[in-house]
Amino acid sequence: PQSAPLASAAPSAPPIASSAASATSTKPAITAPPRKAPPRPMCGRTASLSGMATNNVYEIEAVRAAVGTITRAVDACFAATVHDPPEHQFVDYSFTVDAGGEITSVGVVGDTTSRCAALDVCMHQAIRSMKLGPPLQPGTVNIFFAARARRIEELAVTNSAASASRARARHPLRGDRSTSSP
């Protein structure tokens, strides 16, 4: 019986990739998709009563107390529209009351063309839910709200300042965590 000849030691197929070929090959680099910047806030998430014009319809404290009862609803309105354009950090509303103290209408004060419609709808509902007693006289009251947006840059500065402040609070003289004793 004759045996089959052994295969030669030389490779029969060319190598898949040589070092010279791999250096010049252009494989597409795997990269992450570009990060989208977070949407710019158009207002803050919480609002405060920044002013009013009572027009002698109510005492200032009566209006302030009534607005205080709708704070959660007002904050919910601003939080729900924080990214809705256009910018609405400062908004003004008016409401009219009859002789019995019933709010008969709610309106916007100022420019009506560049307002956040979703905020206005929500705020109208919140303002209408206020309970006021009988007025000094029937009429219209204007109330002004501010809900300042904090920009990403402001947050970075605030956070780094807060970190530095915490470090100084831990070790006011050294600013580090070492506590070795002599």
pLDDT of residue 111: 83
Quote the pLDDT of residue 112. Answer: 80
Q: Output the six-digit token pair for 102.
A: 């019933």
Q: pLDDT of 101-143, one tens digit each?
A: 999 999 999 888 889 999 999 999 999 999 999 999 999 999 9
Mean pLDDT of the chain: 79
Q: Which stretches does DSSP call E strand in the chain?
A: 48-53, 90-97, 103-108, 139-146
pLDDT at 177: 47
Strand 48-53: give its sheet, edge to edge: 48-53, 139-146, 90-97, 103-108
149 phi/psi in degrees, rounded to 5: -85, 140
Compare 36 and 59 and report the one with higher pLDDT. Answer: 59
Q: Which structure tokens are listed for 17?
A: 């990739």
pLDDT of residue 110: 87
pLDDT above 50 for 62: yes
| pLDDT tens digits, one per residue of 133-180 | 999 999 999 999 999 987 644 544 444 555 555 555 554 444 444 444
pLDDT at 14: 55
Handedness of CA 171, 174, 175, 176 (dihedral sign): negative
- Interatomic CA distance for residues 139 and 47, integer angstroms: 25
CA-closest candidate to residue 90, choices 50, 138, 58, 123: 50
Q: What is the pLDDT of residue 54?
A: 96
pLDDT class of 58 with cuts at 50, 70, 90: very high
Helix then strand count (H, E) for the chain reads 5, 4
Task: Return the number of other C-beta atoms located less than 10 Å from residue 72's C-beta.
Answer: 10
Q: Considering the chain, what percentage of its residues have pLDDT values greater than 90?
A: 51
Cβ atoms of 66 and 101 closer than 8 Å: no
Token output for 156: 């970075």
- In the predicted structure, residue 68 carries a pLDDT above the cut 60: yes
- Residues 104 and 67: their CA atoms lie apart, in Å, by 16
Confidence of residue 37 (pLDDT cuts 50, 70, 90): low
Model pLDDT, residue 29: 72
Residue 102 phi/psi, 5-degree rounding, is -80, 130
The model carries a pTM of: 0.63
